[in-house]
Structures are given as structure tokens and as C-alpha cells.
């Protein structure tokens, strides 16, 4: 397995989840490190982690809708293999 460095733009997502106070995803621009086989698996792991944290914090219907729209709310700037 390889390590990937993913540069994220979370501005649109933070607008919807600012009330949840997620400690791991609380900045507009951030870098996230993931261990995966390929870049697609790394992105899947990252999206799964964000959905898990959102649903673990609150199971309201509003946040379920945000989880459905997650791919359009997050922008991936760059993926680097380390």
C-alpha cells in the first residue's frame, strides 16, 4: 500500500456542517494523508471518513442530505503519491 497526500477545498462543505464542530475537518483548505492501493481508493477512503464523522455526530435528515451531496461539495485540488 502507498501513501497519498490529498489537498482539499472544504469551503462549501463547512457552510453546511459548521454546527457539528467536527475536529478533524474544520478548516477551509487542508491536507489529508491516506494509505491506499491507488488514488481512487484513497478518495473513497477520505469520503467514507467524512460521511462517517457527519453521521456519527448527528443523524438528522439535513445531514443525510449533505452526505448525499458530498461529492459536489468537496473539491480535490491535488493528489500526490508519497
Q: What are phi and psi of 11, to 5 degrees?
A: -60, -50
According to the model, what pLDDT value does residue 61 have?
92
Q: How far apart are CA 20 and CA 81, in angstroms?
A: 31
Q: How far apart are CA 31 and CA 64, in angstroms?
A: 25
Mean pLDDT of 15-21: 81
Residue range of the domain that includes 9: 2-81
According to the model, what pLDDT value does residue 57 have?
86
According to the model, what pLDDT value does residue 6 have?
94
According to the model, what pLDDT value does residue 20 have?
82
Quote the pTM value. Answer: 0.83
The count of structural domains within the chain is: 1
Amino acid at each position: 500500500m502507498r501513501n497519498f497526500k490529498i489537498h482539499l477545498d472544504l469551503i462549501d462543505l463547512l457552510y453546511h456542517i459548521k454546527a457539528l464542530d467536527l475536529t478533524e475537518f474544520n478548516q477551509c483548505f487542508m491536507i489529508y494523508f491516506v494509505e491506499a492501493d491507488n488514488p481512487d481508493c484513497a478518495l473513497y477512503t477520505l469520503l467514507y471518513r467524512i460521511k462517517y464523522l457527519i453521521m456519527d455526530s448527528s443523524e438528522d435528515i439535513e445531514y443525510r442530505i449533505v452526505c448525499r451531496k458530498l461529492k459536489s461539495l468537496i473539491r480535490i485540488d491535488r493528489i500526490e503519491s508519497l
